[in-house]
């Protein structure tokens, strides 16, 4: 697969360990949900290395000093419904004051094309770092449409995070949205004829919420 400067694939032993349990078909819903959150937290920590800090004056027990913080209104989380909801708490563990919006997308089972049915975003997304979340980056259609929807509504600084990705999805998002930083914990082999990632982990939404 071609290398893209805006794509970051993690190769951390702890993430790889947790992903291996996540993939297991015998991993139950509760543990699956916890693992999604834990992996997202680890990814968020790494993806925030370039977040802008501002100076603030802090009074320690001994003296006043200038320190640096992330502005509280500077981050927004936007999960792609419904599976992206499982990643929200993982980001909130790192940055609990982040505002949350939602984008609803579904994939037409025949054409595999994404369809938007809902979009509600926090005020001021044009001045925030927006984290777009979806556990699975398969064909890239939903991610690209969601990114376009965010940009139409004013977002300019967007980071996309997925836990499992296929080369097809990486290439589509990187090519169509080169200004968006893409963070992926694991790059898998390919898609099957139904658009599912192999080896993957099945349907993330179904495993998160106990549906089929």
Per domain, the residue ranges of the chain are 7-49+74-209
**Residue 167, CB half-sphere, CA atoms under 13 Å: how many?**
6
- What is the C-alpha separation between 109 and 87, in angstroms, rounded? 24
pLDDT in tens, 185-203: 999 999 998 889 999 999 9
- What is the C-alpha separation between 158 and 133, in angstroms, rounded? 11
Give the mean model confidence (pLDDT) for residues 124-147.
94
Q: Which of 108, 206, 207, 211 is catalytic?
A: 206
Q: Which of 33, 41, 153, 203 is catalytic?
A: 203
Task: Place 107 in a pLDDT band, splitting at 50, 70 and 90.
Answer: low
Annotated active-site residue 108? The verdict is no
Nearest partner of 51 among 184, 183, 186, 195, judged by Cα = 183
Q: Which of 23, 33, 82, 107 is catalytic?
A: 107
- 130, 143, 163, 208 from 190: Cα distances, Å: 28, 17, 15, 22
Its sign, for the CA torsion 28, 31, 32, 33, is positive
Annotated active-site residue 44? The verdict is no
pLDDT in tens, 139-170: 998 899 999 999 999 999 999 999 999 999 99
Cβ neighbours of residue 156 closer than 8 Å, sequence gap 6 or more: 126
Annotated active-site residue 186? The verdict is no
Matching CATH number, 7-49+74-209, of 3.20.20.140, 3.40.980.10, 3.40.50.1000, 3.40.50.2020: 3.40.50.2020
Question: Which range has the worst mean pLDDT, 74-83, 106-115, 122-131?
Answer: 106-115
Nearest partner of 133 among 179, 172, 87, judged by Cα = 87
Annotated active-site residue 111? The verdict is yes
Task: Place 116 in a pLDDT band, splitting at 50, 70 and 90.
Answer: confident
Question: Which range has the worst mean pLDDT, 12-21, 113-122, 167-176?
Answer: 113-122
Q: Which of 40, 111, 134, 207 is catalytic?
A: 111
């Amino acid at each position: 697969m071609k290398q893209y400067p805006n794509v970051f694939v993690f190769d951390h032993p702890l993430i790889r360990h947790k992903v291996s349990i996540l993939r297991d078909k015998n991993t139950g819903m509760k543990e699956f949900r916890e693992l999604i959150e834990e992996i997202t937290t680890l990814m968020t920590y790494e993806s925030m290395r370039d977040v802008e800090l501002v100076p603030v004056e802090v009074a320690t027990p001994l003296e006043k000093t200038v320190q640096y913080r992330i502005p509280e209104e500077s981050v927004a989380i936007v999960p792609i419904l419904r599976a992206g909801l499982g990643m929200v708490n993982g980001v909130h563990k790192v940055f609990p004051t982040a505002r949350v919006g939602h984008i609803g997308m579904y994939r037409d089972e025949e054409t595999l094309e994404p369809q938007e049915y809902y979009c509600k975003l926090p005020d001021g997304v044009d001045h925030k770092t927006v984290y777009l979340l979806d556990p699975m980056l398969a064909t890239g259609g939903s991610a690209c449409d969601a990114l376009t929807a965010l940009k139409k509504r004013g977002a300019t600084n967007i980071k996309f995070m997925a836990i499992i990705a296929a080369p097809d999805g990486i290439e589509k998002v990187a090519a169509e949205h080169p200004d968006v930083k893409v963070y992926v914990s694991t790059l898998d082999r390919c898609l099957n004829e139904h658009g599912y990632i192999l080896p993957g982990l099945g349907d993330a939404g179904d495993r998160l919420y106990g549906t089929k």
